[in-house]
Amino acid sequence: MMMSCKRATFLMEKSNEAGLTVWESLQLKYHNFMCKPCAWFFRQSKLINKHASRMDEHIDAQLTERQKLEMKEIIERNS
Amino acid sequence: MSMSNVAAPGLSPENWVANYADNLFKYAVSRVSNEELARDIVQDTFVSALKAASKFQGRSTEKTWLFSILRNKIIDTYRAKAKYREVSIDTSENSEAEDVFFNTSGSWKRDKYPQDWTVNLDSDIEEKEFFQTLRGCLAKLSEKQRLVFSMKYLEGMDSEDICKEMGITPSNYWVLIHRAKLALRDCLETHWIKK
């Protein structure tokens, strides 16, 4: 019997680290073969994993010159 | 008082602000989503680095070393949040957050069917929008889900360490990270793809 989508997406997450049993891994492959939405989910989930660590790119927030000067002073005081 | 007090070879604290402050700050902002706190963390990183300067052995670059100190400080804030929120969040997490996405037999609910899309970050504008949306979606997760997701996918920690930091069991962890991923992917689909 095919596992549910809820179970399949759970195992996808688990497969990133814990490793699945051979049986779980086969079941998951079969599920994704039969179920397009879950296959898409898996692909998109991997994209999220890949890009998440680049979260600090394209940030508009900036330190002002004054704040940087304060930091410099603190470094000098503690040196 | 003078800079030359820091004797560690390979370190030049007098240039830290000019060389690294901006990048350290952006990294911190993306993790704690609060500029004031991010500023404090960066400042704190510099002070801790000075104190530990004698232990710097030049095995990594100055930049990598400063970033690892920053990262530890950020994980400290995650841990503090996890402790502070423990009780209140545990109860709210008990309700089945997956029910939003799946019906009782565990199939996708009709309005939650994942759609077919991918991420093509072809232009700077697209990239910027994508990361803005991703940050916005991360901010919408429950605090515990966000902490777990951040430790795993932003800081690259393994689940064993995350369980230790958060004071949760492995099975709690897998439930939380699964829910975080379901919510995050759904939010991206709604706000970035179908805009």
B139-153 residue pLDDT tens = 999 888 999 999 999
Give the range of the structural domain holding residue A3, as residue numbers without chain letter. 1-52
Work out the burial of residue A57: count CB atoms within 10 Å of its CB; fewer than 13 is exposed, 13-18 middle, 19 or more buried.
Answer: middle
Q: Is residue B2 pLDDT above 80, yes or no? A: no
Average pLDDT over residues B89-97: 54
Percent of chain B with pLDDT over 70: 89
Query: B181: which 2 tokens?
Result: 């991923």
pLDDT on residue B86: 54
| A62 belongs to a structural domain | no
Domain total in chain A: 1
| A6 belongs to a structural domain | yes
pLDDT on residue B3: 47
Q: Is residue B31 pLDDT above 60, yes or no? A: yes
A41: chain B residues, CB-CB within 8 Å:
114, 185
| A38 belongs to a structural domain | yes
Q: Is residue B93 pLDDT above 70, yes or no? A: no
Q: Which residue has the higher pLDDT, B90 or B130?
A: B130
DSSP for residue A24? H
Choose from A2, A35, A58 for mutation: most chain B CBs within 10 A: A58
| A44 belongs to a structural domain | yes
Question: What pTM does this model have?
Answer: 0.85
| Range scoring the smallest mean pLDDT among A8-17, A38-47, A51-60, B92-101 | B92-101
| A67 belongs to a structural domain | no
A61 — contact with chain B (CB < 8 Å)? yes
pLDDT on residue B95: 56
Residue of A nearest to B39 (CA): A63
pLDDT on residue B141: 92
Average pLDDT over residues B158-163: 94
pLDDT on residue B56: 87
Q: What is the DSSP string of chain B?
A: --GGG---TT--GGGHHHHHHHHHHHHHHHHH--HHHHHHHHHHHHHHHHHTGGG--SSS-HHHHHHHHHHHHHHHHHHHHHHHHHHHHHHHHHS-GGGGTB-TTSPBPGGGPPP-------SHHHHHHHHHHHHHHHHHS-HHHHHHHIIIIIS---HHHHHHHHT--HHHHHHHHHHHHHHHHHHHIIIIIT-
A73 — contact with chain B (CB < 8 Å)? no
User: Which of the four pLDDT bands, split at 50, 70 and 90, describes residue B91?
Assistant: very low
Average pLDDT over residues B52-77: 91
Average pLDDT over residues A65-77: 95
State the Cα–Cα distance between residues A15 and B144, nearest whole angstrom.
21
A1 — contact with chain B (CB < 8 Å)? no
State the Cα–Cα distance between residues B64 and B167, nearest whole angstrom.
29
Average pLDDT over residues B63-85: 89
Run of H or E residues at A54: none
pLDDT on residue B90: 46
Q: Is residue A50 pLDDT above 80, yes or no? A: yes
- What value does the mean pLDDT of chain B take? 87
pLDDT on residue B89: 46
**Which of A40, A56, A75 lies closest to B114 in CB terms?**
A40
| A16 belongs to a structural domain | yes
Class of domain B95-195: mainly alpha
Average pLDDT over residues A9-22: 91
Run of H or E residues at A34: helix A22-34
Let me know if domain B10-85 sits in CATH 3.20.20.80. no
**Which of A17, A57, A68 lies closest to B21 in CB terms?**
A68
Instruction: Answer yes or no: do A52 and B115 touch at CB < 8 A.
Output: no
A5 — contact with chain B (CB < 8 Å)? yes
pLDDT on residue A19: 82
CA distance A2 to chain B (A): 11
CA distance A16 to chain B (A): 10
Average pLDDT over residues A23-39: 96
Longest CA pairwise span in chain A (Å): 68
- What residue spans define the domains of chain B? 10-85, 95-195
Average pLDDT over residues A27-32: 96
